[in-house]
Amino acid sequence: MRWKLARFCIWLWLVQNFVDFTAATQSSSSLPYTQDSLVSIFISDVQSSTPRKPGFEVVSGKYEKVSLSREFSTGISTSLIAACKDRLLQLEQVFHSWLSIYGLSQLILVDWTSTEPLLNFVLDAVPRKLNNLQVVVIRVDNATNWNLAQAYNLAASFATEDWILKADCDTWVDPWFLYRHPHQVDTFYSASKATEKYLHGVFYMPRKIFYLVGGFDERIHSYGWEDDSLLERVVKYLYMEPVQSSTIQHIPHDDTVRQKYQSCLLGNICLPELEVQFNRILFKFLPCWNIDAAQSEYLLVEHDISNRNCCWIRLQPKKLVPMPSISPPYANVAKIKAIRIILATKYHFPRNSIREWPLSLLESVIRQLVTRRYFLLIISSYSRRQRALMERLSTTNHDRLIVFITSTSLQLRQAVQDGVPALYRNDTKFTNLFQNPQGSHCLPYQVLSKRSLYLLTENKSLFPGDHHWIFVEHSLSTSLK
């Protein structure tokens, strides 16, 4: 009898501590949980007991569309998900706009090991009486690097509403966002075509479709391509419509935090466009991410659901999805293609010429383009004498990238073998370097005489720094006409 009574008391204690809605802060657990199992523990009694009719049903392994009104329906609920690391300054500027969204049912914020925890700010910002809106703060401790895919998948796994609005911690959202983007059975909304590139990751879609495609690809550990990879899979099920530009706004800031907590392809130099292209090409070699992919595992440290308006949970990573092992040849191919794309699209280098460049030369040039602002183009035949000239110019002109424009393809190959950036003047895209004034590196050019060029090897202060300079050998001067 005593054993039965003791067992009953233990069962009652567990119910009070893990299920009761007014429970106090919980003790830690050493068992690893996947995202789904964490959700079932944390919000089993927090979510509404009223069943909601989903917008989609699983029939024979496929999603069949159910009739829904094309107008905004209060029967369709929305969760806003956001995640960040050390973005408190930007969060303070946008958080109240999230709380003011009409029709929003749930707001989930993942704090990915911020130096200053975000919970205190959220507790102060959330009103004591918050009608029909639940705020959930998920703190992940001891996560070394920022991983957007893992953080947002964790946030989405706690979403209980029918649709998901994904916003960044520097994204202001209009209070009437939901009403201006009505739910439709065959459509989702994305800002991937927005003029402001930092808004491209904002989307609004059915939660079940997000789960169906597996969410974000957690194998992507560096910056870029997480959002595009997700959208490529979603458009197989739904049509994409643009988010109205007036309903979202990006809060400007520098890239210091991004470069601090994410690995970059060029080491200490981070070029976001290059990272995106590299991940896009690299993950084409891998199987497509899907719903059956392995989940990250976390340790449940503690949680508190005593305040329904603002619940919180603390986790520690147990086993995060690792970066896939890619053989060096495949990684090098992806890096070469990515750098070529950036050189051609952003810096207007002719594609045919840079196709001759090896990876070492491509990396050297892209590093110099990021850190140096101006060109010095030498349009001449390439020889040992010209190479010696370039070495002297490099000594006195550290802030310029020196590029040879050769007259023959043989000279081009010789220069590239010597590790010298060279282009072929008969390349059909060669004149792009001197046109397209809207380009980031297309400033006015001034032509140097031979005497001026040699003076430049002795004293670069003779020439102002706000121009690109061109030396044109007399016999080749018609190449620019």
> Could you tell me if 91 and 166 lie in one domain?
yes
The reported pLDDT for the residue numbered 188 is 96
The reported pLDDT for the residue numbered 257 is 62
> Could you tell me if 398 and 311 lie in one domain?
no
Asked whether residue 284 is domain-assigned, the answer is: no
* Calpha distance 385→333 (Å, rounded): 34
Task: Give the orientation angle of helix 272-282 with respect to helix 328-345, to 10 degrees.
Answer: 140
Asked whether residue 252 is domain-assigned, the answer is: yes
Cα–Cα distances in angstroms (integers) from residue 398 to residues 256, 298, 405, 428, 452, in the given order: 24, 49, 20, 30, 18
* Phi, psi angles (nearest 5°) of residue 113: 55, 50
What percent of the chain lies above the pLDDT cut of 70? 66
Strands (E), 210-271: 239-242, 248-250
Between 295 and 375, where is the model more confident? Answer: 295
The H-or-E segment that residue 305 falls in is: none
246: left (phi over 0), alpha (psi -120 to 50) or beta: alpha
Mean pLDDT over residues 168-192, rounded? 93
Asked whether residue 409 is domain-assigned, the answer is: yes
Per the structure, the complete domain to which residue 436 belongs is given by 328-480
> Could you tell me if 311 and 389 lie in one domain?
no
Report the DSSP pairing between strands 248-250 and 171-173: antiparallel
The reported pLDDT for the residue numbered 316 is 92
Cα–Cα distances in angstroms (integers) from residue 29 to residues 20, 26, 36, 301, in the given order: 18, 9, 16, 6
Q: Is the pLDDT score of 139 beyond 90? A: yes
CATH code of the domain containing 78: 3.90.550.10
> Could you tell me if 39 and 183 lie in one domain?
yes
> Could you tell me if 250 and 378 lie in one domain?
no
- Tell which residue, 410, 421, 53, 2, has the closest CA to residue 206: 53
* Calpha distance 128→353 (Å, rounded): 64
Identify whether the C-beta of residue 253 lies closer than 8 Å to the C-beta of residue 310.
no
> Could you tell me if 359 and 302 lie in one domain?
no
The reported pLDDT for the residue numbered 211 is 93
> Could you tell me if 257 and 383 lie in one domain?
no
Between 2-6, 111-115, 119-123, 244-248, the lowest mean confidence (pLDDT) is in 2-6
Asked whether residue 272 is domain-assigned, the answer is: no
Q: Is the pLDDT score of 12 beyond 50? A: no
For residue 269, the SS3 value is: strand
Residue 12 corresponds to which tokens in the numbers above?
A: 């009652």
The reported pLDDT for the residue numbered 414 is 86
Q: Is the pLDDT score of 309 beyond 50? A: yes
The reported pLDDT for the residue numbered 452 is 56
pLDDT tens-digit readout, 261-278: 667 777 777 788 888 899
Contacts with 326 (C-beta within 8 Å, 6 or more apart), sequence order? 282, 285, 286
For residue 106, the SS3 value is: strand
The reported pLDDT for the residue numbered 326 is 82
Contacts with 423 (C-beta within 8 Å, 6 or more apart), sequence order? 349, 350, 353, 354, 403, 404, 405, 406, 412, 430, 433
> Could you tell me if 337 and 304 lie in one domain?
no
> Could you tell me if 105 and 32 lie in one domain?
yes
pLDDT tens-digit readout, 320-349: 888 888 888 888 999 999 999 998 888 888
pLDDT tens-digit readout, 47-60: 443 333 332 232 33
Report the DSSP pairing between strands 56-59 and 62-65: antiparallel
Compute the radius of gyration of the chain from its Cα atoms: 28
* Phi, psi angles (nearest 5°) of residue 240: -105, 130
The CB density around residue 7, as the number of other CB atoms within 10 Å, is 10
> Could you tell me if 85 and 211 lie in one domain?
yes
> Could you tell me if 392 and 342 lie in one domain?
yes
* Calpha distance 141→298 (Å, rounded): 10
Asked whether residue 270 is domain-assigned, the answer is: no
Determine the residue type at 83: A
Asked whether residue 288 is domain-assigned, the answer is: no
Mean pLDDT over residues 115-119, rounded? 93
Number of domains in the chain: 2
Asked whether residue 437 is domain-assigned, the answer is: yes
> Could you tell me if 182 and 137 lie in one domain?
yes
What's the whole-model pTM score? 0.77
The reported pLDDT for the residue numbered 442 is 46
To the nearest whole number, what is the mean pLDDT of the chain?
76
192: left (phi over 0), alpha (psi -120 to 50) or beta: alpha
Asked whether residue 8 is domain-assigned, the answer is: no
